């Protein structure tokens, strides 16, 4: 036992005599309860050991009893870190820990205190008052909150395995009436379809829907302009609903649906298993009607179903037709002014060749939209047979290949009418028409260019776009020219002076040479035939 000084023993005896407990004496004097208990036993065993009795002096009085109900003043101590409060606070705002701050205080400011002193001071500065959340009130039909959770274990179809599906919950903010569905897989279309099922279950839609920043609904979270995916945005527009995504790390904004999910998991689904998704959905709908809707709302002290009946009249009416879902993708306009979709080609004009467009694939139609403005450019019926080209004849773009360009350049060398006819044939027949083009340009090996060009003009006037027809016309023109030439040729008995040319040549020498060569070839062929 610790031996206390006489005045401390007197204090303990006086407090014990006044009825104070050991805990109270410890708080007042600072002496441990073990020591106080030892002295109490000592005084009880031998009253002569009590400080006031041992002296037996009539002038001796016990120390005064402290006033009842008054707090014992606690000495105020100032931390050694107090002069460095601003520095420590700035470092804490930077995310630095107490160890780093202590080291900087020693190195930079000559701090001579202990590390624990800095640690305690930093903990006091980190202490924040609890954040206050305003209680929000909403009008009937104003807001619906949605979110995903986990459903009860369900047997995977065709297996012996069990897995927890995704639990979709949509809760009306005013009445707290909820819609619940479990699904195996989620996606953009499934997410939108669940919203549509919820609105039809409620019999109308709220003006706003609050959701998390999950990928099924929000492509790019942003404080000011969050980007929704196209399918979800189109679904909301169809039902005239505005999305209000919650800010990142702000779960209190949609605390109503969070509570509904937790209540469903803890009350309805806890400890249950289901053989199928359908069985679990039937159970959830039954539980919502019998139990969840009939409960008394804690804050309003009213039945949820009664509040829902009041809110139902304020919901927006549903459209007559359901939402037409689509798949959205980007495509580049090919050099034939078409876009390739599911192994078929669809006309994309007025979109420019090489530009990117937005394509929406519906069940029965194809929509081509501007990538930037999303303005509708073309609508086509969706074809079933792969390889189909949905392109009007008037919109076919002349876009020759390398081989075709070579043929057309040869046609232009023959003449403008030959080039025009060849381009027309390629535009109509495409690659197959290249054979006709080769036949027309190869006529230049045997006949003068002007006859071929004239034959092409005649073929276009007659509307017969055929290589055989062009060849026949060319041969006829050449034969007529040869006949005219022979008719103008002098007889052999004529004098040499009569053969002298007295005027300039009308045609080029090359054309006359071609005519003479053709005449010689024809003569040889005739002689060989006669022999």
Note whether residue 84 is domain-resident.
Answer: no
Relative orientation angle of helices 416-429 and 434-442, to the nearest 10 degrees:
160
Note whether residue 317 is domain-resident.
Answer: no
Query: Please, what is the average pLDDT of the chain?
Result: 83
Looking at the structure, tell me whether residues 308 and 191 fall in a common domain. Answer: yes
Rg (CA), the chain: 50
- Of 134-143, 166-175, 343-352, 382-391, the poorest mean pLDDT is in 134-143
Q: Which long-range contacts (CB under 8 A, 24 or more apart) does 79-84 make?
A: 79/113, 79/117, 79/120, 79/121, 80/111, 80/112, 80/113, 80/117, 81/105, 81/111, 81/113, 81/117, 81/118, 81/121, 82/121, 84/109, 84/111
Looking at the structure, tell me whether residues 306 and 226 fall in a common domain. Answer: yes
Instruction: Return the structure tokens found at 482.
Output: 């040869």
Looking at the structure, tell me whether residues 470 and 411 fall in a common domain. Answer: yes
Q: Which residue has the higher pLDDT, 180 or 37?
A: 180
Shortest CA distance to 22 belongs to which of 1, 38, 6? 38
- 370: how many CB neighbours lie within 10 A of its CB? 15
User: Quick check: 398 pLDDT over 90?
Assistant: no
Looking at the structure, tell me whether residues 470 and 390 fall in a common domain. Answer: no
* pLDDT score for 31: 84
User: Quick check: 56 pLDDT over 50?
Assistant: no
User: Quick check: 423 pLDDT over 80?
Assistant: yes
Note whether residue 410 is domain-resident.
Answer: yes
Q: Which residues contact 179 (CB under 8 A, 6 or more apart)?
A: 169, 170, 171, 197, 198, 201, 202, 288
Given the DSSP bridges, would you call strands 365-370 and 356-361 parallel, antiparallel or unpaired?
A: antiparallel
Q: Which helix (H) or strand (E) holds 359?
A: strand 356-361
Mark out the alpha helices in 164-276 (DSSP H runs): 188-202, 230-238, 255-263
Looking at the structure, tell me whether residues 332 and 268 fall in a common domain. Answer: no
Strand 208-210's sheet: what is its strand order? 178-183, 166-172, 143-150, 208-210, 242-243
What is the Cα–Cα distance from 86 to 511, expressed in whole angstroms? 103
Given the DSSP bridges, would you call strands 344-347 and 242-243 parallel, antiparallel or unpaired?
A: unpaired
Reduced to 3 states (helix: H, G, I; strand: E, B; else coil), residue 35 is: helix
Q: What is the mean pLDDT of residues 111-131?
A: 82
Give per-residue pLDDT as tens, 273-282.
999 999 999 9
Reduced to 3 states (helix: H, G, I; strand: E, B; else coil), residue 2 is: coil
Of 395, 417, 445, which residue is a domain's last? 395
Looking at the structure, tell me whether residues 385 and 422 fall in a common domain. Answer: no
User: Quick check: 408 pLDDT over 90?
Assistant: no
Give per-residue pLDDT as tens, 202-217.
999 999 999 988 889 9
Note whether residue 87 is domain-resident.
Answer: no
Q: What is the mean pLDDT of residues 243-258?
A: 81
Shortest CA distance to 414 belongs to which of 379, 375, 442, 393? 442
Are the CB atoms for 477 and 451 separated by under 8 Å?
A: yes
Looking at the structure, tell me whether residues 122 and 25 fall in a common domain. Answer: no
Q: What is the mean pLDDT of residues 406-417?
A: 90
Looking at the structure, tell me whether residues 189 and 109 fall in a common domain. Answer: no
Instruction: Return the structure tokens found at 355.
Output: 């530009």
Looking at the structure, tell me whether residues 297 and 170 fall in a common domain. Answer: yes
Instruction: Return the structure tokens found at 397.
Output: 């773009």
* pLDDT score for 366: 96
* pLDDT score for 493: 43
Q: Which residues contact 368 (CB under 8 A, 6 or more apart)?
A: 339, 346, 348, 351, 357, 358, 359, 376, 377, 378, 379, 380
Q: What is the mean pLDDT of residues 420-430?
A: 82
Looking at the structure, tell me whether residues 186 and 255 fall in a common domain. Answer: yes
User: Quick check: 58 pLDDT over 80?
Assistant: no
What is the Cα–Cα distance from 341 to 361, expressed in whole angstroms? 9
Q: What is the mean pLDDT of residues 8-37?
A: 81
Looking at the structure, tell me whether residues 202 and 298 fall in a common domain. Answer: yes
Q: What is the mean pLDDT of residues 427-449?
A: 84
Give per-residue pLDDT as tens, 139-192.
999 999 999 999 999 999 999 999 999 999 999 999 999 999 999 999 999 999
User: Quick check: 129 pLDDT over 60?
Assistant: no
| Residue range of the domain that includes 461 | 402-487+508-512
Note whether residue 381 is domain-resident.
Answer: yes
Q: Which helix (H) or strand (E) holds 107?
A: helix 98-109
Q: Which residues contact 449 (CB under 8 A, 6 or more apart)?
A: 413, 414, 415, 418
Give per-residue pLDDT as tens, 303-323.
999 999 999 999 999 999 999
Secondary-structure percent of the chain, ordered helix, strand, coil, rounded to 5: 45, 15, 40
Sign (positive or negative) of CA dihedral 285, 290, 292, 293: positive
Give per-residue pLDDT as tens, 85-108.
999 988 898 888 888 899 889 988
Looking at the structure, tell me whether residues 349 and 467 fall in a common domain. Answer: no
pLDDT band at 33 (very low <50, low <70, confident <90, very high): confident
The structural domain count of the chain equals 5
Give per-residue pLDDT as tens, 472-499.
999 999 888 888 888 776 544 433 443 3
- Tell me the percentage of the chain whose pLDDT exceeds 90: 48
* pLDDT score for 55: 44
Mark out the alpha helices in 110-152 (DSSP H runs): 115-126
Note whether residue 179 is domain-resident.
Answer: yes
Reduced to 3 states (helix: H, G, I; strand: E, B; else coil), residue 358 is: strand
Instruction: Return the structure tokens found at 213.
Output: 């920043």
Shortest CA distance to 216 belongs to which of 202, 195, 242, 199? 195
Mark out the alpha helices in 384-508 (DSSP H runs): 402-414, 416-429, 434-442, 449-462, 467-487
Give the single-character DSSP code of 320. S
Note whether residue 202 is domain-resident.
Answer: yes
Place of tokens 């007659």: 462
pLDDT band at 344 (very low <50, low <70, confident <90, very high): very high
Q: Which residue has the higher pLDDT, 258 or 335?
A: 258
Which residues are bridge partners to 220 per DSSP? 227
């Amino acid at each position: 036992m610790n031996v206390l000084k006489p005045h401390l023993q007197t204090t303990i005896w006086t407090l014990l005599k006044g009825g104070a407990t050991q805990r109270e004496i410890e708080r007042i004097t600072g002496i441990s309860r073990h020591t106080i208990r030892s002295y109490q036993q000592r005084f009880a065993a031998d009253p002569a050991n009590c400080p006031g009795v041992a002296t037996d002096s009539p002038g001796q009085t016990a120390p005064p009893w402290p006033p009842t109900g008054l707090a014992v003043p606690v000495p105020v101590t100032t931390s050694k870190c107090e002069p460095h409060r601003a520095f420590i606070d700035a470092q804490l705002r930077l995310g630095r820990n107490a160890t780093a701050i202590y080291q900087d205080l020693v190195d930079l400011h000559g701090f001579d205190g202990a590390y624990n002193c800095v640690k305690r001071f930093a903990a006091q500065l980190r202490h924040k008052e609890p954040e206050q959340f305003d209680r929000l009130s909403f009008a009937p039909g104003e807001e619906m909150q949605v979110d995903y959770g986990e459903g009860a274990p369900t047997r995977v179809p065709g297996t012996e395995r069990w897995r927890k599906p995704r639990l979709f919950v949509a809760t009306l903010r005013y009445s707290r009436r909820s819609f619940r569905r479990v699904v195996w897989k989620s996606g953009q279309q499934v997410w939108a379809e669940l919203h549509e099922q919820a609105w039809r279950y409620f019999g109308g839609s709220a003006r706003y829907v609050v959701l998390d920043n999950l990928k099924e609904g929000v492509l790019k979270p942003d404080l000011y302009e969050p980007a929704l995916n196209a399918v979800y945005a189109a679904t909301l527009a169809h039902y005239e609903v505005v999305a209000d995504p919650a800010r990142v790390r702000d779960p209190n904004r949609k605390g109503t649906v969070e509570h509904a999910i937790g209540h469903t998991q803890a009350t309805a689904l806890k400890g249950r298993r289901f053989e199928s998704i359908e069985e679990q959905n039937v159970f959830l709908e039954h539980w919502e009607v019998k139990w969840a809707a009939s409960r008394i709302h804690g804050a309003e002290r009213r039945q949820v179903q009664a509040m829902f009946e009041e809110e139902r009249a304020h919901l927006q009416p549903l459209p007559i037709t359901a939402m037409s879902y689509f798949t959205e993708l980007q495509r580049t306009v090919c050099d034939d002014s078409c876009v390739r979709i599911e192994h078929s080609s669809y006309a994309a004009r007025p979109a420019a060749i090489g530009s990117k467009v937005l394509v929406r694939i519906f069940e029965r139609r194809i929509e081509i939209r501007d990538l930037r403005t999303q303005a509708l450019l073309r609508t086509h019926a969706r074809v079933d047979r792969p390889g189909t080209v949905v392109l009007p004849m008037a919109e076919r773009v002349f876009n020759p290949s390398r081989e075709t360009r070579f043929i057309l350049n040869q046609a232009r060398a023959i003449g403008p009418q030959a080039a025009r006819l060849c381009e027309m044939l390629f535009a109509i027949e495409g690659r197959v028409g290249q054979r006709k083009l080769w036949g027309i340009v190869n006529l230049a090996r045997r006949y003068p260019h002007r006859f071929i060009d004239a034959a092409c003009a005649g073929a276009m006037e007659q509307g017969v776009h055929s290589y055989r027809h062009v060849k026949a016309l060319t041969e006829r023109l050449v034969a007529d020219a040869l006949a005219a030439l022979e008719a103008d040729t002098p007889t052999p008995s004529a004098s040499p002076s009569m053969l002298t040319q007295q005027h300039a040549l009308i045609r080029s020498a090359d054309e006359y040479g071609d005519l003479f060569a053709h005449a010689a070839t024809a003569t040889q062929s005739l002689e060989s035939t006669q022999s």
